[in-house]
Amino acid sequence: MKEERVRSKSLLLIGIRTVLCCIALAAAVVVKLAGGELYARTATWFYDNYNNSIFSGNVAAEMPFTDPVTIKENSVIPNHSEEDKTEKRDIRLRSPVSEGKITSGFGKRTIEGKEEYHKGIDISADEGQPVFAAISGEIRVSGEDESYGKYIVIDHGDGLRTLYAHCSRLLVKSGGRVKAGAKIALAGKTGQALGSHLHFEVLINDKNTDPVPLLPEGFGVA
């Protein structure tokens, strides 16, 4: 009788511990969406209790949390946004044209007495001069616009896009992929352009950014 009571008590404890471990696992999955310290602490608790519980063999290896999470006192687990990751990434672009001078920079400028915001840079280029992809990516737009004329937009992932405008001819189609340095168009003066040149834009998370710091050093300088 005594052995049966001990066995019953042992089975009860095992059952309680099993239920607690399952609850912890479910809670960890839920709080993972919120991220941060709560998730880390839950995962650590589950690991410690699960691996030291009545389970043995290869069962623990099949569970999601097979490595312990160490929480230092007063530590903060950062939750980086897409913008943070993009801004911290080391972006290096190739020259969109082999030769050319920057004739109009990024930001505020005055044209015919009117101040406007220039979303990119203008690079001198003869009509028919090759235009190259500044970085590998997917062609999102290969079309024509009243302002940009014939233009191309390439999506490079992680919120980074480049735009090439006023082309005389487009050599790629939407949906295709190109490598850095691939010839994608020929320069021209289509759209609202006073002369043949390439209008080049860089967008990070839909925000226009000055391309010059991302291009090779000395590019566009006469």
Is 50 exceeded by the pLDDT of residue 178? yes
Distance of CA 29 to the CA centre of its chain: 25
Is 80 exceeded by the pLDDT of residue 209? yes
Shared-domain flag, residues 126 and 155? yes
Global pTM?
Answer: 0.59
The whole-number pLDDT of residue 116 equals 81
The whole-number pLDDT of residue 218 equals 85
Tally of helices (H runs) and strands (E runs) in the chain: 3, 13
- Contact between residue 28 and residue 43 where contact means Cβ atoms under 8 Å apart: yes
pLDDT one-digit tens code per residue, 35-82: 444 444 544 444 444 444 333 333 333 333 333 333 233 333 333 333
Shared-domain flag, residues 63 and 136? no
The whole-number pLDDT of residue 4 equals 64
What's the domain count of the chain? 2
pLDDT one-digit tens code per residue, 134-175: 999 999 999 999 999 999 999 999 999 999 999 999 999 999
Shared-domain flag, residues 101 and 37? no
Whether 222 is covered by a domain: the verdict is no
The whole-number pLDDT of residue 14 equals 73
Closest CA to 120 of 141, 102, 140, 139: 102
- Is the backbone of residue 47 left (phi > 0), alpha (psi -120 to 50) or beta? alpha
Shared-domain flag, residues 70 and 113? no
Range of the domain at 43: 2-79
User: How confident is residue 94, by pLDDT bands cut at 50, 70 and 90?
Assistant: very high
Shared-domain flag, residues 73 and 95? no
Is 50 exceeded by the pLDDT of residue 83? no
Task: Name the domain boundary from 54, 79, 104.
Answer: 79
Query: Distance between CA 89 and CA 217 in Å, rounded?
Result: 18
CATH number for position 140: 2.70.70.10
